[in-house]
Amino acid sequence: MTFENENPFALRSTLEYEMPDFSRINDESYLPAFYAGCQEQLHEVHEIIKQDEVTFENTIVAMERSGQLLMRVLVVFYNKSSSDTTDRLDEIEEEIAPKLSAHTDAIRLNQALFGRIKELYGKRDSLELNTEDAWLLERYYMDFTHAGAHLTDAQREELTNLNEELSKLETQFGKNLLTDTNDLGVLVDDVNELDGLSENEIAACAAAAKARGLEGKWLVGMVNFTGHPLHASMKNRSLRERVMKNSLIKGARNNENDNRPVILQIVKLRAKRAELFGVKTHAEHVLQDRNAQNPENVHKMLKQIAPAAVRNARAEGADLQKAIDASGENFTLESWDWDFYTEAVRMEKYNLDTTAMRPYFELERVLNDGVFFAANKLFGISFKERKDIVTYHPDARAFEVFNEDGSKLALFIGDFYTRDSKRGGAWMNNLVDQSHLLGQLPVVVNNLNVPKPPAGQPTLLTYDEITTLFHEFGHTLHGILSDVKYPRFSGTSVERDFVEFPSQVNEMWLTWPEVLDNYAIHYETGEKIPQEWVDNLKAASTFNEGHATTSYMAAAILDLAWHSLEADSTVEDVEEFEAKAIEAYGLNYGPVPTRYRSTYFSHIFAGGYSAGYYGYIWSEVLDADTVDWFKENGGLTRANGDHFRKTLLARGGSINSMQMFRNFRGRDATIEPLLKRRGLL
């Protein structure tokens, strides 16, 4: 049989929405398709180069049409390897990572191709391009120069070697972290140790242990960030301490999964690569192509926030210590006590117990009557579950999305439950990018890590998990409402320090009265969440923001510190470097550790956020200002949704992000709404 007949990636899928044919895809489908895809795209590039005439259509548009086979396999592979990996997939990822890096460099560093792009860019004002075409040419020129196409032959060869080595190290970081995270789950022999947890939480721990062949025990699995959601209700202080300490050492043990030497190699090679581009640090190079432009602008913004954040955190810590003392206990507040006593103080100050809210936050209601409901009210779109569509895992559910007129808009895949084969955290990605050029509608995936209850039991979410669900669906809206010609601009293809903005805006509907009233209903009694609780929730909106902001800021500073190192810098001790970086910013407060320590900071060492983790709060400046706009203009209305959709969400990355924001808001953003929201004024 030929490759076209036997491999499920060989041709465009004939299924609805060009959904990948998961009934045919297996672990052995990827490598042949990957190599065939690389070969095909290089041939397509060769065909572009050999043409004598240089036009926008035969160069830039032709590049947009190239690489479709490779893209088909990559989007499926990386979604599968992050959400449901196997030993074989890990092996494949280790093989393809450096080869994909080399393939990308073979295109981005191709002098003949860059020469054509440079020629078009030089005469761009005379080409009579429309707005999206002109921006596409601009981005291609920036992509190639940022990748190093303008460097000398010797520099490009060195760059290619650095990129290949970095791709191997980044893959190793992620593999080490997943293994160590699973290994560090805390095993509990006596159910009495889980005092304070709900029946469903205890059942989820039992199910997690059973899945590893440890029936009769309970497993508290690690999460990707510092700490654990169960700390808020876990009465056993010794167990809280064990969980926290295991959380803090992910990827930092003297074993084969130790990420410390991997980190030191990554930062040195990134700094060395930056030198090739004529700058001193990786952060300088990365930020040239971001809205922030340079590290100085990032520090200027962060320094407006850090002092007030840690001041508020210390004040919150003092309140927690009082609560500890008042309870008759005799110990000093530690990081593993914070969440538990926060609930006590929250109850005392605001008569608010967020753990008691969980029966009102059942997953199906939150999803259908909260997340989908808000999207329908705002954009007129509707959702229908398609149980007949085969996805990549039994827990991954497909929903068809329709415009108000009934026309097909997109396919949404929701994969909500945690499993050992899934990396930590929550994220959105695409299986198919929207593009008028290729005639494609989007297929968008959301992954969460909610503990799965035993069969027949409801999935009751924490307040944080609901926030995450609304947040990730904000990314989904950015993807499914995309209305652009070129795949380069589809959905979330925007600057890294802008991409979190629409997702953070979507969090506002979580507590919007019309939305909350529709989904926050007790799963057994059918009663709506008490209005007193809702009022108290709003009154406590800035409660614990000192902790949240300080924890986040410490991680953002760590990212900048690592990527502000120069190539000749020497770091011998990762933990010492961390401590000094956080202390230098005044964020060192023991009970509030950084949200991510370096050894499990996959955002920056195995993801796309290196020198960019600041982007969450940079985006939140835009988000907070936008929330004010919605409130000033009537909130959850179709008129507001249509304006947001037309000026921003539908545009993807087809124009400059900050100009897109100005088109929506009518002006630049101000930082005051953010400071007010976080209680930092």
Structure tokens at 306: 């850090």
Phi/psi zone of residue 679: left (φ > 0), alpha (ψ -120 to 50 degrees), beta? left
d(CA 109, CA 127): 25
Tell me which of 472, 500, 545, 578 is the catalytic residue: 472
Tell me which residue of 3, 8, 9, 7 sits closest to 70, measured CA to CA.
9
Place of tokens 């509707």: 382
Longest dimension (CA), the chain: 84
> Which pLDDT score, from 0 to 100, does residue 3 have?
80
d(CA 336, CA 354): 18
CA-angle at 212, arms to 206 and 214, nearest 5°:
60
Structure tokens at 267: 């930062």
d(CA 620, CA 336): 28
> Which pLDDT score, from 0 to 100, does residue 681 have?
78
- Name the pTM for this structure: 0.89
> Which pLDDT score, from 0 to 100, does residue 1 have?
55
Tell me which residue of 306, 303, 283 sits closest to 293, measured CA to CA.
283
Domain borders along the chain are 3-108+110-150, 359-539
Helix %, strand %, coil % of the chain (to 5): 60, 5, 35
Structure tokens at 296: 């100085």
Residues 632-641: tens digit of each pLDDT? 999 999 999 9
Tell me which residue of 61, 174, 194, 177 sits closest to 120, measured CA to CA.
61
Rg (CA), the chain: 25
CB 493 within 8 A of CB 653: yes
d(CA 204, CA 450): 10
C-alpha 635: how far from its chain's center?
26
CA distances from 18 to 430, 434, 484 (A): 12, 11, 18
Q: Which CATH number fits domain 3-108+110-150: 1.10.275.30, 3.40.50.2300, 1.10.1370.40, 1.10.3980.10?
A: 1.10.1370.40
> Which pLDDT score, from 0 to 100, does residue 112 have?
97
d(CA 346, CA 357): 13
CATH fold label, 359-539: Neurolysin; domain 3 (1.10.1370)
> Please, is 425 exposed, middle or buried when counting C-beta atoms within 10 Å of its C-beta (0-12, 13-18, 19+)?
middle
C-alpha 631: how far from its chain's center?
27
d(CA 209, CA 194): 14
Q: What is the DSSP letter of 35?
A: H
Is-same-fold flag (3-108+110-150; 359-539)?
yes
Tell me which residue of 545, 546, 541 sits closest to 313, measured CA to CA.
546
d(CA 456, CA 513): 30
E strand residue ranges, 240-322: none
d(CA 224, CA 555): 13
Helix (H) or strand (E) holding 161: helix 153-183
Residues 565-579: tens digit of each pLDDT? 999 999 999 999 999
Q: Which residues pair with 386 in a beta bridge?
A: none
> Which pLDDT score, from 0 to 100, does residue 39 have?
98
CA distances from 303 to 287, 299, 557, 560 (A): 18, 6, 10, 13
> Which pLDDT score, from 0 to 100, does residue 87 have?
94
Strand, coil or helix: what is 445?
Answer: strand
Active site includes 576?
A: no
- Which residues fall within 8 angstroms of residue 346, CB to CB, at 6 or more apart? 352, 353, 354, 540, 543, 544
Q: Where are the alpha helices (DSSP H) in 29-86?
A: 30-49, 56, 62-65, 68-83
Tell me which residue of 475, 494, 487 sits closest to 660, measured CA to CA.
494
Compute mean pLDDT per 10 residues along the chain, 681 residues long, and list them: 85 97 96 98 98 97 98 98 96 95 97 98 97 97 96 96 96 96 97 94 94 95 95 97 98 96 98 97 95 95 94 96 95 98 91 90 98 98 98 98 98 96 93 98 97 92 95 98 98 94 97 97 97 92 94 98 97 97 96 98 94 95 96 97 98 96 96 90 78
First to last CA, the chain: 68
> Which pLDDT score, from 0 to 100, does residue 583 have?
97
Tell me which residue of 562, 80, 588 sits closest to 317, measured CA to CA.
588
Q: What is the DSSP letter of 27?
A: G
